Structure 1
């Protein structure tokens, strides 16, 4: 008896143990394989077996294609046909060295076709990942929320927020989505609300005092069971302590480490700031410290257009783009981390290469990580 003659449940059990990176090639075996590889049963089996893994996604806006936004995912064993259409093509970059061209053959951002969703105006919303889903919290759209199941890349509707919010602050803390502030007609008791993906319902969260509330926030950060929100004034820099279910005010000196170029890995904050270095924040000392061992990578990061840091399954993923003649190249590096003592963390680059080449008019919008 050959493998393909086994019952579906046995085949699913085998496929669930294989990395998702190989699914594009395995889908070419037969229609049956293609159907099994896109089934929710497969991913449920992966969860039961503890075989889930982190997947990296990137959003690219194409000005040559009616300003549509395209979704790509990192694939280390891509299929040959990766281009969605001629206006946003992936092609070898003639400006790369031979070594870079060889390395990019192993790691590519591959176009992902999604269903039941318009690609436009991703920039006019918040995208935030929780588990295997990425949630879209739009601005001024009747408080509607959508989510994409990254197991089969299908969009669905989620329950609406209690009030309409324009440009709110959106964060994830302990697997729940917190939406705070924003422009809109609501009272102080509705300043913040929380969505639980498990129960698919919005929950009440105690609001801070009305004098501390603000419509627009600079940034937020969830770490160690706490949600920090940085406002434009000292009085509006706040921290929500989940276990105590209460708010406290923190000074500017304690919120200066909140940055959009940051991510949290094992309750350690990593960032890239004005120093143009990859760093981590020492909460005890109240200062940034260099992530050591990355001198060669820092040279590549110079003159970037945009940089993103992501928690890639416990490793640090660094993405950035550069304009090269008439093209835009997107780089990605995966860094293993080693904490040698309380005051020193070293990084080791496991791979670094160009993962996508697009026309220079395209824009690298954002990235996110899901677990499937």
Structure 2
């Protein structure tokens, strides 16, 4: 019970519990165990329930007690050249991609836009247009609120750049900027301060094609059309000293397509001849072919995402192939997998990320 003062007189304000007759901590214990796909219904019960489900307290409680569920988000471009975003609940009995509406119109036509997840939010950053220079704008989608907002602009305008999350910060790396921008630079975003900090390093490659995080380090690979020498084809960021160094040449030799890290193991989808999944073995420092995916199910170019031990290969039209790297067998070199039907439209997949809530 809270006490407040009105016109010099003390009055008491009674607390209204989330559920009558139950302490709020017991209510939180119960409601936080409701599957994520029903959270929209919980928000319809009352304003107090909606505020709870959208709160940081709810997010951290589910995280602390291992109740969070991971969904996959795909940034796509449709036939009209518009940016769009879809979400997939891997645990649903009827797995299908759902459109996220109300994407900010300011970035709907941009090229070279970056996409990254941090906590319960994902961010759309930068990009450029046919008649527009690179921008520093950043838009944020809160998955618990199902709403968009703007956030602090990047220190540097960027387009076609790498973006990764590491140590609770977002890293925006390289890419093409405005005439005044330094292409050999990267920015970091601290959500607690809602601010960006800029750094530069001569080892940063402006023309970036792929990136991933493994063993607490960021790896970036430049585009195949780049004119940089082979020995700087890929670089790795070491957060302990804040520098970029040349990456392991043996690892780089097999990094020929979209990639994902599962249990600190790197997997790459080699699309140079069909769709073949490759795995990097750190101990023996070699690439191993796990098998090929059926051409009847995959529609390159594809992107990869991981939920638990399952890798999702997501191609044109959001055609999706799923297999468990711990259990997947193969028959004649073709990997055993399941699939999720594609959309009616043939949207191109730009990037895929996972968000746990």
TM-score by length of 1: 0.71
Equivalent position SS for 1:240: strand
Correspondent of 2:242 among 240, 245, 258: 245
User: Quick check: 2:71–2:90 contact (8 Å CA) kept in 1?
Assistant: no
Tell me if 1:277 matches 2:272.
no
CA distance in 2, matches of 1:72, 1:34: 26
CA distance in 2, matches of 1:115, 1:33: 27
1:227 is matched with: 218
2:155 is matched with: 162
CA distance in 1, matches of 2:95, 2:268: 24
Q: CA deviation at 1:269?
A: 0.2
CA distance in 2, matches of 1:255, 1:329: 28
Q: CA deviation at 1:117?
A: 5.6
2:87 is matched with: 73
CA distance in 2, matches of 1:170, 1:28: 32
Equivalent position SS for 1:359: coil
1:86 is matched with: none
CA distance in 2, matches of 1:289, 1:108: 32
Correspondent of 1:18 among 14, 34, 39: 34
Equivalent position SS for 1:13: helix
User: Quick check: 2:310–2:322 contact (8 Å CA) kept in 1?
Assistant: no
Q: CA deviation at 1:314?
A: 4.6
Q: CA deviation at 1:189?
A: 9.9
Q: How does 1:59-98 map to 2 (within 5 A)?
A: 59-63=75-79, 66-75=80-89
Correspondent of 2:138 among 120, 141, 145: 145
Tell me if 1:367 matches 2:344.
no
Compared with structure 1, are the counterparts of its residues 357 and 228 closer, same or farther at alpha carbon in structure 2 (3 Å cutoff)?
closer
Q: Which runs of 5+ in 2 are unaligned?
A: 1-17, 128-132, 329-334
Compared with structure 1, are the counterparts of its residues 135 and 258 closer, same or farther at alpha carbon in structure 2 (3 Å cutoff)?
farther
TM-score by length of 2: 0.73
Correspondent of 1:312 among 286, 307, 311: 307
1:344 is matched with: none
CA distance in 1, matches of 2:43, 2:183: 54
Query: What whole-Å deviation, never above 9, does each CA across 1:202-261 have from its counterpart, x for those lacking one?
Result: 2354x333xx44432233332112222323322533222112333323465442233441
1:265 is matched with: 262
Query: What whole-Å deviation, never above 9, does each CA across 1:179-212 have from its counterpart, x for those lacking one?
Result: 222333357697222222333222354x333xx4
Q: Which runs of 5+ in 1 are unaligned?
A: 79-104, 322-327, 340-347
Compared with structure 1, are the counterparts of its residues 170 and 59 closer, same or farther at alpha carbon in structure 2 (3 Å cutoff)?
closer
CA distance in 2, matches of 1:219, 1:301: 26
* CA root-mean-square deviation: 3.7
